[in-house]
Each structure stands twice: as C-alpha cells, then as structure tokens.
Structure 1
C-alpha cells in the first residue's frame, strides 16, 4: 500500500514562528492510498478507517457524502468495495485544536449569505483566525458571534468553516462554510483549483510585459521565518504559479491583476519580490522603501504621503467564484477597491499626469 499526503492549500496569512501558526497554516489534508494487489473487497470507509487513525468513521462517511472520497478519480459512497490496485483519495479537515476562543460582536461586511455559506469582505488589518499574539479581534471571533446558533461555530475550533484565508493586511473576499458538508465541498474546489480568485495589486516598477507568469517554489526563508522565499530550482518549498496582467502603468508603479494557479503562503508578495517588483508598502518584502523614481526631495515626500495613505501592502482579493455546494450554481462576487488603495492609485495617476 502506497500513501501520499498533501495539503489543500497554504492559506495566505501572517507568518509567526509559533506552534499555533505552523499547525494552523492548512485547514485540510489530502490523503492518497494505493490498494495492494492482493486487496480483498472491503468497504472504503473501513479501508480508510484503519489508515487514518485520527479520523472517526462518521467523519469519513461525511466526507463520502460530500463527494470528498474518490476511487480512481471518481466519487464513491461509503459502501464502495475497494479492489486491488484501486487509487483511493480523501479530503478531510484537520482535527480541532483545544483552545478557548471568545465570540466577539465585531461588525462583518457580509456580501452574501444563505443556509450553507457566507461571503465576507475582510478589511485590511483583520487577522483571519486566532494564532499566537492574535487571540481576539479576528474574523473567527466575529464569526463565532454572528453564527452563535450554528453548531459548527460553538466549539473551540480556530478554523470553523474556513477553507481559505488572506493576510492580515490584505483586504478582500473570503467564503466561509456554515456546514461540514459545505466545508468539505468548497475545500475540494480549492484543492482541485476549480474556484476562481483574482487579486488587485500595486507593485513597484514597470513590468516588461503586459501579461506574464511567475513560476517558482515557495518556502520559508532560511533565516527570517516570518517571510517566504522563492526557490526556482525546486530545492525547497512547494510549486507555485502566479499569472499577472498590467491594468495601468502609473509612472514608477504598476497596477496589476493577479490570478493564482496555486495558493501558497504569501504567494503574490513573494513572487513579485522575486521578480524585482515588490508590492507597494509591503514592509516584509522590501516594498516600504522608495525603490523607483527620482532623488528629488519633492518626489520623496510624495512617496511618503502615498505610504501614509495606504499603510499596508497594496493587495486586494477582488473577485471570488465557486460552485455552490448545495445548488450547484456557479457564484461570482466582486469587491470594490478599498478606499486606501483607491486613494493610492489616484495619487499616482495625478503624479503621472503632471509629469
């Protein structure tokens, strides 16, 4: 029997060196087993139960009902009999962590909500889920209050309903599941890359091409564990691909649209740093210095004013699309550019027009 394990995705979030963050980077695990040549017919739930000691039979059966158990790349029910050489894959959420999380009455910008999920527009500055140094004021604290009558949000799970996330200082759209079935269904879409996500960013410098693709493994920096590095030779990290398109050239910065083919931690930020175009005012990746432009004091003052207008990395999760886990309808959402990034863009437009 051969087993492969990987994560649904590395959710983009602020990195710390804490155990909480390291264990909390992924919400789902993906297992792949190859049945032996001499495998006797056996129900797939029993087959997986002996191979996944941390998972209950109920959890495995729920995964089957949600279409998250596949044999030879086809979804099966719990009573499917595993045969010799079958390839069995399953997506499961990680076990809940026992820490106390307090519901907090924090206003949420809810874009859409029904009995199965909700889509929120997260402001910059809000951490998605509790971690070391951030046990209050997070999106999860707010969700526990908003969904306090929902059994999925009444425990001490630091990731209830979460299937992806974005950095603390990145704004934009997130989908949250309200049932275990919806959570598994949505997680599978993110794993299979059938969800759609577009980001809007302001980066330093003029990109050579109107469109492009950045490819390079992403892993933790060998010295500074709070940031990620790109390893183009694939010696470390995980495969990552970012597609971009220049939306507007604004003198010494570019407004770009980014589409993620993978979802690694800090992917856009690390990739643009790697190609020499860090995101504007991204302190962790060198974008909070004047990287392009003139040496005139007036220009320096202008850029410092831009830093003050948008005091965080200029990155916004603008669009989100996925298939509804219950109805099968394709849903698409778009978030307007937040005021700080809009002011930043306008300032650079005015600067460019006056040159």
Structure 2
C-alpha cells in the first residue's frame, strides 16, 4: 500500500499486491484500524469513499493498483490504532540476533527458550513486542503466524505483511507446512519409530493451562516420532513431527508414551529431570520448518540448538550429524545449486549409515534377522 497526499487532507492510497481480492472494510482494518466500521459505512453511503473515482461499498473487493480515496478525520470514532512500541537499542539488537533467514514475504527467527511468543498476564517481554525492530518508517508491522511455548526454542516464522500472513496461516491450518522438532526424553521408547495417536483436551481444573489425553472427548492429535540415538537406558534423542497442531501436543504425547521431555515438569513431574549435570531447562526445540512462499519458492530453515540443549547433547554423547535434518543451511532460496547437491549427498550418506546400524541391530547372535518388536514406518 502506498499513500499520496492531496488537498484538504483527503488521502489517496494505492492497493498493494497483498490486498488482492480483499473486502474494502477489511482493507481499512488492515491499514487504517483507527477508523471504525460505522464511519466507513457512513462515508460509503455519502459517497466520500471512492475506488478509482467511483462510489464503493464496504463489501466491495479491491484489486492491486486501484486507488482508494479516504476523506479526512474518522479517527475519533474508531477503537484507536495499536500504539507502536519504542524499542531500546538493546531490544533491537536482540531481535536482529534471532534472525536466521529473510525473504520478501517472511522473517525467520530462532526463538530462544524463556522468551514468550506473545504477551499475557505478567508477560511484558515477548517476540510480538520486539517486531517493531523490523519496521522501517511507515512500513507495515510484521505479524506472527504461529506460536511456540515460552520454554520451547527454535524456528518461528514472521510474516512481513497482512497478505503473506494470510497465505502462511492457510498453510499451517491445512498442515501443508512441515515442522520437525528435536527433543531429549527420559528413558528410551521400546518402539523406535512410529506415530502417537492420542486425542487431547483441556484438563479440568487447570483453567485451560494444561492438556491431557482424552480419547472420548478430545480433539484428534497425531505425532510422528523417531528415536535418533539413545544414551543407554537413561535418555533418548527424538525427532518429532506434529501432524496436527494441538496445544502442548508434543509434550503431552511424550509424557503419555511414558517418556517425558527432559525438563518438562508440567507434564512429567519429578520424573522429567535427569540426575547429574543435565540442565533442568526444557529440551524441546523447533529444529526445522519447510513451507511454501507466496508467489512460488519455498522456505526451508534450520535453527541451531540453544546452549543448554547443545551441552546436554554433548554430555549424553549425541552427535548432531546423526539426524537426517542436521546439515545446517539458510533458507533454500539462498542456497546455490551446488550447495543443494552437496546437502543432498550428505543427507544420503547419513541415511545409509543410519540404516546399516539398524540392520545390524536386527540380527541375533546366529546372524539371522531378529523378529521385529513394533511397527516399522
């Protein structure tokens, strides 16, 4: 959206690509939220709002390149535009330090543990409050399109405009976005690879702050998991891929499997903590996000582990290169063709190595294949 000044404080706006097909009242809500719907309706009835010089109704659709004439005033009748936060230099630096990839439609962050995604009761510092660091003058404020728990670290996608936010939101809602998490759990699942299918609902008496498995009244929830490595019988490193998007889904499913995420006392209780020097912080990390972009292209972003998680991995003897999602890279739009080929070769090499280890583990002392103990995916 661009604005041109005219006489008598009448404003002219040019509709941008992100607003293609939007209702006129929706356009106002996106770009002039301080003007209320009653005012917009009155202006439309009296012909004061014009689109390409013609009278327009609130329900009319606008297209890129059209000019919208907006009369002066109207702000006093609206709810008021959300005040922009004034960030300190330290806040701006902290926000910029989280960036792992940028595209014309998105900013990809690596959210640290302990930082909430949005504000709430007694929560004044959060990612949403730091997004002013990515605005330039009158540029639209970037928008959140999904969330991570406060103590979960990793990939968080921020949309640059309302149009791209709507595009990404549809991909998340339609399960077209692929999300891969890493977790350290207590103990080792007997079945090394499979899908957890357990419906979830809000736990009564928790005020909606806690979820639990409810096969009869809960909403469907499915999580694909794979044991990447294990440290004896003490702990395991899992790759988790949520196939649905329920609140606290991965945490509840791991606990329901009998292997709570290390540091997740909310769902694992005292059993969620390992003895020794392993950190008591939660070990759940959004490692990878793959999602299509508006207009073509694809974001494929990986986030480095936070310090406490990386230290615990080393102490337990886990090598990050073991995972299929391990090779670090920027967004695929920033990789050269040769870099893509090299990453594919490395992926294939790691996969063959992992499969050789699995095949050896399936043979008994006589050298014959041992019977499978669980489903193979």
Superposed pair shares fold, TM > 0.5: yes
1:151/1:244 Cα in 2 relative to 1: closer, same or farther (>3 Å)?
same
Give the Cα–Cα distance (whole angstroms) in 2 for the partners of residues 303 and 59 of structure 1: 62
Partner of 1:342: 310
Give the Cα–Cα distance (whole angstroms) in 2 for the partners of residues 262 and 97 of structure 1: 36
Partner of 2:133: 145
Q: Over residues 7-63 of structure 1, what are the superposed CA-to-partner deviations in whole Å (9 max), with x where a residue is unaligned?
A: xxxxxxxxxxxxxxxxxxxxxxxxxxxxxxxxxxxx9979x9xxxxx9x9879947x
Identify, as 1 or 2, the structure richer in strand: 1
Give the Cα–Cα distance (whole angstroms) in 1 for the partners of residues 60 and 119 of structure 2: 27
Tell me if the contact between 2:262 and 2:280 (Cα under 8 Å) persists in the aligned partners.
no
Partner of 2:194: 212
SS in 2 for 1:289: helix
Note the residue ranges of structure 2 that are not aligned, 5 or more in a row.
Answer: 1-20, 27-36, 41-56, 65-78, 319-377
Give the TM-score normalised by structure 1.
Answer: 0.63
Tell me if the contact between 2:265 and 2:272 (Cα under 8 Å) persists in the aligned partners.
no
Distance apart, 1:333 and its partner CA: 0.9
SS in 1 for 2:289: strand
Please report the RMSD computed on the Cα atoms of aligned residues, expressed in angstroms: 3.0
Residue 250 (str. 1) matches residue 250 (str. 2): no
Match of 2:281 among 304, 307, 312: 312
Tell me if the contact between 1:116 and 1:179 (Cα under 8 Å) persists in the aligned partners.
yes
1:104/1:59 Cα in 2 relative to 1: closer, same or farther (>3 Å)?
farther
1:290/1:44 Cα in 2 relative to 1: closer, same or farther (>3 Å)?
closer
Give the Cα–Cα distance (whole angstroms) in 2 for the partners of residues 196 and 60 of structure 1: 35
Give the Cα–Cα distance (whole angstroms) in 1 for the partners of residues 80 and 157 of structure 2: 21
Give the TM-score normalised by structure 2.
Answer: 0.59
Partner of 2:213: 230
Tell me if the contact between 1:248 and 1:256 (Cα under 8 Å) persists in the aligned partners.
yes
Q: Over residues 292-336 of structure 1, what are the superposed CA-to-partner deviations in whole Å (9 max), with x where a residue is unaligned?
A: xxxxxxxxxx71421xxx33211000001111113x102201112
SS in 1 for 2:169: helix
Distance apart, 1:98 and its partner CA: 7.7
Tell me if the contact between 1:246 and 1:255 (Cα under 8 Å) persists in the aligned partners.
yes
Residue 133 (str. 1) matches residue 94 (str. 2): no
1:253/1:287 Cα in 2 relative to 1: closer, same or farther (>3 Å)?
farther
Tell me if the contact between 1:103 and 1:145 (Cα under 8 Å) persists in the aligned partners.
no
Match of 1:178 among 147, 160, 164: 160
Partner of 2:85: 102
Q: Which has the larger radius of gyration?
A: 2
Tell me if the contact between 1:241 and 1:260 (Cα under 8 Å) persists in the aligned partners.
yes
Give the Cα–Cα distance (whole angstroms) in 1 for the partners of residues 23 and 173 of structure 2: 21
Give the Cα–Cα distance (whole angstroms) in 2 for the partners of residues 246 and 331 of structure 1: 26
Identify, as 1 or 2, the structure richer in helix: 2
Give the Cα–Cα distance (whole angstroms) in 1 for the partners of residues 60 and 225 of structure 2: 39
Give the Cα–Cα distance (whole angstroms) in 1 for the partners of residues 266 and 156 of structure 2: 23
**Higher RCO (CA < 8 A, seq sep 6+):** 1
Residue 124 (str. 1) matches residue 96 (str. 2): no
Give the Cα–Cα distance (whole angstroms) in 1 for the partners of residues 266 and 136 of structure 2: 36
Note the residue ranges of structure 1 that are not aligned, 5 or more in a row.
Answer: 1-42, 49-53, 66-95, 154-159, 292-301, 351-355
1:313/1:59 Cα in 2 relative to 1: closer, same or farther (>3 Å)?
farther
Tell me if the contact between 1:280 and 1:288 (Cα under 8 Å) persists in the aligned partners.
no
Give the Cα–Cα distance (whole angstroms) in 2 for the partners of residues 239 and 273 of structure 1: 17
Tell me if the contact between 1:170 and 1:317 (Cα under 8 Å) persists in the aligned partners.
yes
1:290/1:335 Cα in 2 relative to 1: closer, same or farther (>3 Å)?
closer
Distance apart, 1:149 and its partner CA: 3.0
1:145/1:258 Cα in 2 relative to 1: closer, same or farther (>3 Å)?
same
1:118/1:207 Cα in 2 relative to 1: closer, same or farther (>3 Å)?
same
Distance apart, 1:102 and its partner CA: 2.8
SS in 1 for 2:147: coil
